[in-house]
A and B are shown apart, each in its own frame.
Chain A
Amino acid sequence: MTKTGMIDFRGVNKWFGALNVLKDITLSVEPREVVVVCGPSGSGKSTLIRCINGLETIKDGDLIVDGQRLGDPATNMTQLRTEIGFVFQSFNLYPHKTALENVTLAPIHVRKIPRTEAEHAGRELLAKVGLADKVNAYPAQLSGGQQQRVAIARCLGMRPKIMLFDEPTSALDPEMISEVLDVMVAVAEEGMTMMVVTHEMGFARKVARRVVFMDAGAIVESGTPDEFFSHPRTDRSRAFLSKILRH
């Protein structure tokens, strides 16, 4: 038996119809490791992390998360999802609930934490992401950056073992990107296992242990941020980097 990481892809394939969106993916993420996934749009990076909490299902290969094999009848997917936070590009806050209610919903109903306790923890989390004064605001009253920070607090409220970020800053105005990245850096520095799909190379340099470059459904290159940014090994990664670093 080989050593298992927190997230273990072993020869994973996935098709959308005839399109092979994930090609023979093998990747292991250790506990407390931060991995940044980048690549051109349509390269399969979002699909890759959506597979980890079962928002997408895999066709063949093995995907083992926190010691449990996905698709195995013995794996309780709902239970496993409580251990995995997922931050969406479009935030997906519940518009009919306040910031605090967004954060406390799952702890109260899934973790069965008493309401007062959950609200206390929720206020602390919102303070931690710099939104102590927005506890009772509805998502529509918040800016994009604020919404995304509430979304991160919502994930943290479940005390997950893993956090997945699917282009968390791509829908934000430029001046709001750093407030979200700062929160993500803080989460990473506390030792969270993270996989982050992003083109924010500053973030990658700062906290990522590894950068994974994907193209056309396959992992083309993988290495430390320094190796990847300074000495990309393939033409495709060089072409990609020259595009995103030009500005």
Chain B
Amino acid sequence: MIWQQFLSLAGSYPLALRGLGMTVVLSLISLVLGTLLGFGLGILRTGGNRLISSVIGAWVDLIRGTPFLVQIFLIFFILPEFGIELDAFTAGIIALTNLAACFICEIVAAGIRSVPTGQVEAALASGLSRWQRMRQVVLPQAMRIVLPPLVGQYVLLIKDSSVVSAIGLTDLTRVGWLVVQRVPNGLLVFFLVGVGYFIVCYPLIMLARRLERRMGAAHGEVQL
């Protein structure tokens, strides 16, 4: 009986691979976009313009304070009411990117605030422009604080991507739902789904741990 289920599961492996691929592609795209956007927002958040900073702060609080499932429903089901048609993939990317950007914004802002004011004053005193101060002096030092939680955030993002199955994207989680209709062994199927996520996330968890150790000891340039 179990053996038959295994055989039948083995037959679903092309579907499982597609699901895993979808999870990885979704996560990767929104991770890259979310990182870029998150750094931009984090820099603006600490940039000294009160209005911009508080608008970003309010948006971040809103996103952090509502369930991701609700956000993705809003984007996928409510936006079309206003004439913005999105396919499930685009909606998923937008929702995940936005979520990642908001968390990363706060991580980056905390990193920037951790750089002593003396550093900014020294850069200011030697005539570096605003962008040069950020690029040459503040960000490299902030990265020591930013990197470990940033990689940790990537792990959370990959796991949160499972929510996109709710709007019909065939990611790893949805493959689980599809397979379990054919092979009625939920424990086994979702155990394997979990293993799939873990295989993607575990290297990142290891990386985060390594970074944390290195950042504690390093005094020189941050190198990956």
A→B interface (CB under 8 Å) = 53-55, 78-79, 81-82, 84-86, 88, 90, 92-97, 105-106, 109-110, 138-141, 154-155, 158
Given contacts A78-B127, A82-B127, A106-B128, contact A92 B119 (CB under 8 A): yes
Q: Give CA–CA (A242, B38) in the complex, Å.
A: 57
Closest to A93 in B: B122
Contact-size category for B: 20 to 34
Q: Looking at the complex, which one of B128, B219, B222 makes contact with A110 (CB distance below 8 Å)? A: B128
- The answer to whether B126 and A110 touch across the interface, beta carbons within 8 angstroms, is yes
Indicate if the CB atoms of B221 and A158 lie closer than 8 Å: no
For A105, the chain B residues whose CB sits under 8 A away are 126, 128, 136
CA distance A111 to B128 in the complex (A): 10
Contact B132 A84 (CB under 8 A): no
For residue A56, give the distance in angstroms from its CB to the closest CB of chain B: 10
A90–B121 Cα distance when bound, in Å, is 11
Q: Closest approach, in angstroms, between the C-beta of A65 and any C-beta of chain B?
A: 13
Who on chain B is nearest to A76 by CB? B127
Contact with A along B37-50 (1 / 0, CB 8 A): 00000000000000
CB-CB < 8 A to A109: which residues of B?
128, 132, 136
> Pick the contact of A55 from B121, B132, B137 — CB < 8 Å?
B121
Q: Does B141 contact A (CB under 8 A)?
A: yes
User: Is B129 an interface position by the 8 A CB rule?
Assistant: yes
CA gap between A172 and B126 in the complex, in Å: 23
A138 to B121, CA, bound (A): 19
Give the docked Cα–Cα distance between A84 and B119 (Å). 17
CB-CB under 8 A from B124, the residues of chain A are 54-55, 81
User: Residue B129 contacts which of A78, A95, A140, A141 (CB distance < 8 angstroms)?
Assistant: A78
Known: A109-B132, A138-B219, A138-B220. A92 touches B126 (CB 8 A): no
Nearest CB in chain A to that of B116: its residue = A92
- A90 and B141: CB pair below 8 A? no
Partner of B118, one of A79, A92, A140, A155: A92
Complex CA–CA separation, A184 to B141 (angstroms)? 29
Q: Which of B32-63 contact A (CB under 8 A)?
A: none
Contact with A along B196-224 (1 / 0, CB 8 A): 00000000000000000000000111100
Q: List residues 92-121 of chain B with CB under 8 A from any CB of chain A.
A: 116, 118-119, 121
Set A95, A154, A155: member contacting B141, Cβ < 8 A:
A95
CA distance A79 to B127 in the complex (A): 6
Contacts of B119 in A (CB 8 A): 92, 94
Q: Chain A's nearest CB lies how many Å from the CB of B170? A: 45
Report the nearest A residue to B137, measured CB to CB. A94
